[in-house]
Amino acid sequence: MNTKLHAVTDTKGRPIRFFMSAGQVSDYTGAAALLGGLPAAQWLLADRGYDADWFREALQDKGIRACIPGRKARRTPIKYDKRRYKRRNRIEIMFGRLKDWRRVATRYDRCPKVFLSAVALAATVMFWL
């Protein structure tokens, strides 16, 4: 079984929201699912997988500026703040801290609901530590 975990974090790298999708599904599915529950923010940092015009427009409608590099296949390059994009490492650190939990890292749970519950439990503890 293959799944992909999408997450929204705050500026300190603490997890706020999660969404799990099938592993072969595009990142756009996770972006669409998490879009409605985004907290008030000035910037959204994401990797190339979330680069889509509709996603950028939806963020702009919410008053959030996107710092997402364009895909390599994009015809017209997208400008983004490279210095701000370097702060995306906080998200990667959050995923690394999630994997400190052996149950999450080794994926003992085959059922996606149970696995997401284990991730939520780990994220709750991480948020307060």
Q: How many domains does the chain have?
A: 1
| CA angle, residues 56, 62, 68, in degrees to nearest 5 | 30
Q: Of 49, 53, 47, which is closest to residue 67 (Cα–Cα)?
A: 47
Give this prediction's pTM.
0.84
Q: Say what the pLDDT of residue 1 is.
A: 59
Average pLDDT, the chain: 90
CATH number reported for the structural domain that contains residue 117 in this entry: 3.30.420.10
Domain with 86, as residue range(s), is 3-128
pLDDT tens readout for residues 85-94: 999 899 999 9
Sequential DSSP letters for 22-38:
ETTS-HHHHHHHHHTTP
